[in-house]
Amino acid sequence: MITFALDEEQSMIRDSLQGFAAEVLAPAARAIDESGEMPADIIKQGWDFGLIAASIPEAYGGGGGERSCITNAVALEALGGGCASQAVAIMAPGQFVGALLDFGTAEQKAEHLPRFAGGQPVAAAVAIQESQFGFAADAQRTTATRKGNGWVLNGEKRLIPLGDRADTFLVLAREDGGEGLGAVGAFLVSRDTAGLTVSTENGTQGLKPVPKGQIKLNNVELPGSARLGGDAGIDAARLISQARVGAAAVAVGLCRQATDFAIPYARERVAFGEPIGKKQSIAFMLADMHIECETMRWMVWKAASLLEHNDPGAVKASVLAQDYVRRKAVKIADDALQIFGGHGFIRDLPLEMWLRNARTLTVLDGPVSV
């Protein structure tokens, strides 16, 4: 049945995260962005909401709750409404955990999940992006080649969220010369594996203070058990879709924040004797921003819902949501900046930061997942 209702728990999560976003994340955003340093304290406060541990089965020490893509979408939007960078830093390990929950073998789950169920933040990361321009998730250059019962990985991964500190990487790679997403596998690579070099990333346009790492894989030899899902492998289309929709959900929050910031300014700023909000050129921009904030949310929810139910239309819905949010989110952030004119360009206000974050979020294949 078609319904837009959230259940009681989801509404509660949304409300408490919106409060956290407004009271803690948003006020800290500018200073963190300028320094480029993500405070450990923020990650800890986010961790304490238990969002990641909640869906880990009780057998591994978690909350035993349902793994819900809709709940994740709601949470990511709420956090993104405070600060996209902090939202990503807080929720990035959830991408790793989600992949484990969805595709991991019993042994892989038993090995990795328990440490995410505790009170201390743990960093692990999914490595998707590569160094070449024109990168496409379905055309990975990182390769995984069978060798005996194991695998050998070669390649380079970039812009890995929390990659500078992650204890484990889930590396996406093209298996045995296959093509397309169907040939993409995921491999659990511990930070101290021979042949793996980890370094910190240089700066980035948006999501600037999100700690990021890059890795080089030079004939990294892995046992067969390192392949996520064992013999069954993974459904890479699903994994990538969850990442795309995750980034889109954060972008929806960012756009709502930018729109809500621009509305009071349009009422206050006077030009030619009246508030600029009384001029249709500005009023209609704001109306469109509102329209698209709503619309993007439903696109994200639909994709998340179909992913949650493993519906055959889920991958398509995710592509549509990603495409829609990519076009609309950047425009909203850009229009919000335009309404502030020159003030939008100055780093005292958050407008330019939101534009950088919106552009960055929507070009990456998701540093977070639903």
Told to check if 263 binds other proteins by CB under 8 A, we report yes
The answer to whether 191 and 213 are in contact (CB under 8 A) is no
Among 115, 165, 191, 290, binds other proteins (CB under 8 A): 290
Among 197, 287, 346, 347, binds other proteins (CB under 8 A): 287
What amino acid is encoded at 218 in this protein? Answer: N
Give the Cα separation of 56 and 211 in Å (integer). Answer: 24
Q: Which two three-digit tokens encode residue 286? A: 């704001």
The vertex-335 CA angle with 42 and 347, nearest 5°, equals: 45
Least gap, CB of 312 to other proteins (angstroms): 11
Told to check if 255 binds other proteins by CB under 8 A, we report no
Which residue bears the tokens 């990985």? 153
What amino acid is encoded at 367 in this protein? Answer: P
Q: Give the H/E segment covering residue 160.
A: strand 150-161
Told to check if 68 binds other proteins by CB under 8 A, we report yes
Binding positions for other proteins, 208-237, rule CB under 8 A: 237
Among 319, 331, 343, 349, binds other proteins (CB under 8 A): 319
Query: Which one of 27-35, 167-175, 179-187, 342-350 is the stretch in contact with other proteins (CB under 8 A)?
Result: 179-187
Binding positions for other proteins, 182-211, rule CB under 8 A: 182
The answer to whether 142 and 115 are in contact (CB under 8 A) is no
The answer to whether 369 and 246 are in contact (CB under 8 A) is yes
* Total residues in contact with other proteins, by rule CB under 8 A: 56
Q: Which two three-digit tokens encode residue 352? A: 């330019």
Under the rule (CB under 8 A), what is the footprint of other proteins?
A: 1-7, 10, 68, 70, 134-139, 180-182, 237, 263, 266-267, 277-278, 280, 283-284, 286-288, 290-291, 294-296, 298-299, 301-302, 304-306, 309, 311, 315-317, 319-321, 323-324, 326-327, 365
